[in-house]
A and B are shown apart, each in its own frame.
Chain A
Amino acid sequence: MSQITPLFKREFLGYFRSPVGYVFLAVFLMASVILAFFVGGFFRSNTASLETLFNFYPWLFLFLIPAAGMRLWSEEKRTGTIELLFTLPVTTLQAVLGKYLAAWAFLALAIVLSFPMAITVAYLGDPDWGVLIAGYVGSILMAGSYLGVCSLTSAVTKNQVISFVISLLACLILLFLGLSVFNNALSSVMPTWAVDLLANFSFSTHFAAFTKGIIDPKDVIYFLSLSGFTLFLNVVVLER
């Protein structure tokens, strides 16, 4: 465990040693505010909640998390620092966890930095803080799962563009599986139980409850186990 700390610190601070971190935070916050206010109708909804913000997160994550995750391993491979990293006294699992947790903490920071929106809601009305917090918990958990997928795909290639495109595609599939439009199309060629099974693997299905203020253990377990599984594959891919 103690070997993870230096790796975590280096990776997390690494976001702020180059413009990457600042650009990401700025774009993430601007995009989420624009989506919530102009597309989601933050004021028009006339409710004291952040549902209009959280509803866009699955879509925002779809593009921004592959952008943050694509460099995790492919950059190490391209610059050759992976050779340095894996001749330090750390195991592959420690390295994978150190990097993943740092990136996750960075994404959590990006999500939490939208708190002025929550303050706005509290100023204008009387929001249910439980629902708001559930929304944040769900967003952070979902970001972890997106990131797990991206970390895995970035370990497969040293080309960041390929890494980005594969991550995007994988996340897109995981997101679409839960959309009713997509499921209706599927049910014409598949039995209903198969469609339901597939829908159960989707980000959107499991995220929806959080935005309504429900922290259901099965949704939490879904996100954590998806992250765990992708990280396990990540270790396997790197040790190959």
Chain B
Amino acid sequence: MIEVKGLVKLYGSKRAVDGVTFTVKRGEILGFLGPNGAGKSTTMKMITGFLQPTAGTAVVDGHDVTQDPVAVKRRIGYLPESAPAYGEMTVEEFLSFIAETRGFRSPEARTTQVNRAIGLTHLDPVRRQTIETLSKGYKQRVGFAQALLHDPPVLVLDEPTDGLDPNQKNEVRALIKNMATEKAVILSTHILEEVEAICTRVIIISQGRVVVDETPAKFQARQPGARLDAIFRSLTQSDV
């Protein structure tokens, strides 16, 4: 579903992403881990077509992002870090705008999609509020609703549980897990337990390179009995 082939991103002379390669199949939930500044977000931005890679490419559902970015964008639901949204719009207006650009042209089709996304993310109590007045948890869910709206085959989620309380975190995890059977999901996170809870595979990225690509069980087996963050620290120490 997602094939990432030797992605490189240079910022000046700094190699933010340095030859990242991996694939994600349908039904997989890939946990993307790494210290801040390791290149997680940059990699995701290149997969979604927001940033041009310096070298390499990503192929999503058969479409090359450097050749046909619009086709790739149609197939991806993307939640950017900190869930940006047009604050002066109400939740309903905002999701309706997203639905329209996602190709749901008739008002009925739009309403159906918007209601579905609002139902999935439990936004009903705030649907007529402007986004700028919402709490962080609600804002995050608006971003999540926006990513799910067109029921995309591929989900790219940059820290989807950031800013949520423990109950909401569990809810979002359950939602991702339920949907993942027919989707390919990439999610980045700082919470190692999250990887254990929902991911079928884990990739650790450090200084722009993939240092680990295996199942969570194998990852734990590297140091049996140790806490995940201890293993994580020993693998990414060079970044600190």
Contact = CB atoms under 8 A, between A and B. Distances in A.
Contacts of B76: 87
Interface stretch (B98-106, B181-189, B225-233): B98-106
A3 B80 contact: no
A89 B102 contact: yes
Interface in B67-101: 70-71, 73-74, 76, 78, 80, 82, 84-89, 97-98, 100-101
Nearest to A84: B84
Contacts of A80: 80, 82, 84
Contacts, number: 60
Interface stretch (A6-14, A33-41, A123-131, A204-212): A6-14
A86 interface: yes
A91 interface: yes
A119 to B, nearest CB: 34
Contacts of A10: 86, 89, 97
Given A87-B50, A89-B74, A6 B100 contact: yes
B229 to A, nearest CB: 29
Interface string A1-45: 011011101100010011000000000000000000000000000
A83 B45 contact: yes
A80 B80 CA distance: 9
Given A14-B86, A14-B88, A18-B88, A84 B101 contact: no
B48 interface: yes
Nearest to A83: B80
A18 B89 CA distance: 9
B121 interface: no
A84 B97 CA distance: 12
Given A7-B101, A90-B70, 15 more contacts: A2-B105, A6-B100, A9-B97, A10-B89, A10-B97, A14-B88, A14-B89, A17-B88, A17-B89, A18-B88, A80-B80, A83-B45, A84-B80, A84-B85, A87-B50
A81 B82 CA distance: 10
Interface string A194-225: 00000000000000000000000000000000
A189 interface: no
Contacts of B130: 17
Nearest to B49: A87
Contacts of A3: 101
11 contacts: A2-B105, A3-B101, A17-B130, A79-B87, A81-B86, A84-B80, A87-B49, A89-B71, A89-B74, A89-B103, A239-B52
A227 B101 CA distance: 25
Q: Quick one: which of B48, B86, B98, B102 has the most chain A CB within 10 A? A: B86
- Which of under 10, 10 to 19, 20 to 34, or 35 or more describes the interface residues of B? 20 to 34
Contact of B85 (A7, A14, A81, A239): A81
Contacts of B73: 87-90
A86 B87 contact: no
- Which of under 10, 10 to 19, 20 to 34, or 35 or more describes the interface residues of A? 20 to 34
A131 B196 CA distance: 74
B146 to A, nearest CB: 7
Interface string A69-90: 0000000000111011011111
Contact of A88 (B71, B84, B102): B102
Given A87-B49, A87-B73, A81 B84 contact: yes
A170 to B, nearest CB: 27
Contacts of B88: 14, 17-18
A86 B45 CA distance: 10
Interface string B97-118: 1101111010000000000000
A91 B71 CA distance: 11
Interface string A114-141: 0000000000000000000000000000
Contacts of A5: 100
B86 to A, nearest CB: 6
